[in-house]
Each structure stands twice: as structure tokens, then as C-alpha cells.
Amino acid sequence: EAGVTQSPTHLIKTRGQQATLRCSPISGHTSVYWYQQALGLGLQFLLWYDEGEERNRGNFPPRFSGRQFPNYSSELNVNALELEDSALYLCASSPLGQGSYNEQFFGPGTRLTVL
Amino acid sequence: AQSVTQLGSHVSVSEGALVLLRCNYSSSVPPYLFWYVQYPNQGLQLLLKYTSAATLVKGINGFEAEFKKSETSFHLTKPSAHMSDAAEYFCAVSEGSASKIIFGSGTRLSIRP
């Protein structure tokens, strides 16, 4: 069974540009989560999508946005990039939308560098 | 609100020694608790999870953790460390229905030959 995949592996942008990160969940999983792992800040929850809808959002500005497609894959968009957006962005998927526990399976991440 | 505190950002043990990584949590409802491991330049891999069943949870690679409600702790242990255990370990908590995971700050485990 294929795991969570993310693309690209690395992404280099300059300040002010836009970045688009992509995630494909495990087959059969309907929920996709995005986390930011920035140096010194740990792992922070960004966004949760389930069945095409945004279900929850972490404490990030509106320039962080995303969407989930009918095939449950997801995009994370970061507009007006700032230097502090440089981080590893992890995507996770889960077979459960709500209720019970949600074991999340993580992808390898996209390393975003903002120059 | 939920939170997780990992005591010690860096732990170093000798190969063959006991591994003990400490985690304390705060949750207003019965929590679901997780330990994840992250090897260099990789994503997170689930080691084990507590979901209100047995309080002693066994995971992969010989790791286990014990849920102690009275101490609000979920410490990770392994009887004998291997060089391959060197990695970053994250304790995490979830309320389940909220479907987001709150991670601790992580503990980097180093293994001395």
C-alpha cells in the first residue's frame, strides 16, 4: 500500500512569491492535515481538510490556505512568502474524519526555503 | 486546551542502556496519546498510541509507554538502546473528535557506542 506522498521534495522561493505544495493521501483516507515544522518552533498544526471541506485551522495568517480535491488530494498555498515561512511542511492523512481516535500517517514533507 | 510537555530536548544514552523519554500532557477530556519518531530528513512515523484501552502500550522497534492518569504522564521506554534508535521523538495528544494533534517540542535521542 502506497503511503502519503508529497511534492515537491524541495522548493525554493523568494520573499513575496507564492508557493504551492501538494499532498496525496493513502488510498481510502478522506482526511488530510497540514503541519509546519519550523526550526525552533516545533510541529504546529496548520489545516485539516475532510471530504473537501476545511474542518479546522491552526493559528496561522490567512495567506496560508489550501483546498482538498474530489480525489482527496490536497494543496497548501502560501501567499506573500516571508523569510520565516521557511520550514518543513508535513502532510498527514487519516481514515477517520471525526470521532474516535485519529491515527495520522505522515508523508516525507516538502522543504520550503524562502530567500 | 490540550498541551504536551517533553522534558529534555536532548537525551544521550549508551548503546544497550535503558531509554527513557519523558512526556507529560494536559487535557480536559480523556486524551488519546501518541509517540512519533522522525529520522533525519524524513517524515513522522507512529511508534505507538494510547486510546483508552490498556495503560501499557507496546509499539514498534521494542518501544513501550505507560499511561499514568494520576501523573498525567506518558513516558516512552526501551530496555536496550540500539544505534538505529538515534532520532527525534515527539509525544503528542489528541482529543479524538477534534482531529488535530498537538505535538510536544521533541526530544533528540543520541546513542553513544
B82-109 pLDDT, tens digit each: 999 999 999 998 876 556 788 999 999 9
User: Quick one: closest CA in B to A42, which residue?
Assistant: B105
Test A97 with B106 for CB contact under 8 angstroms.
no
% chain B with pLDDT above 70: 96
Test A94 with B94 for CB contact under 8 angstroms.
no
Among A44, A51, A102, A111, which would you mutate to test the B interface (most chain B Cβ atoms within 10 Å of its Cβ)? A102
Please give the pLDDT value at position A99. 45
At A68-111, the pLDDT tens digits run 999 999 999 999 999 999 999 999 998 765 445 667 889 999 99
The whole-angstrom separation of Cα A28 and Cα A25 is 8
Please give the pLDDT value at position B3. 87
Cα B85 to its chain centre, rounded Å, is 13
The whole-angstrom separation of Cα B49 and Cα B28 is 19
Q: What does the pLDDT average to over B36-65? A: 90
Rounded to the nearest 5°, which phi and psi values hold at B13? -135, 160
Longest dimension (CA), chain B: 43
Test A45 with B101 for CB contact under 8 angstroms.
yes
Question: Which DSSP state fits A83?
Answer: G
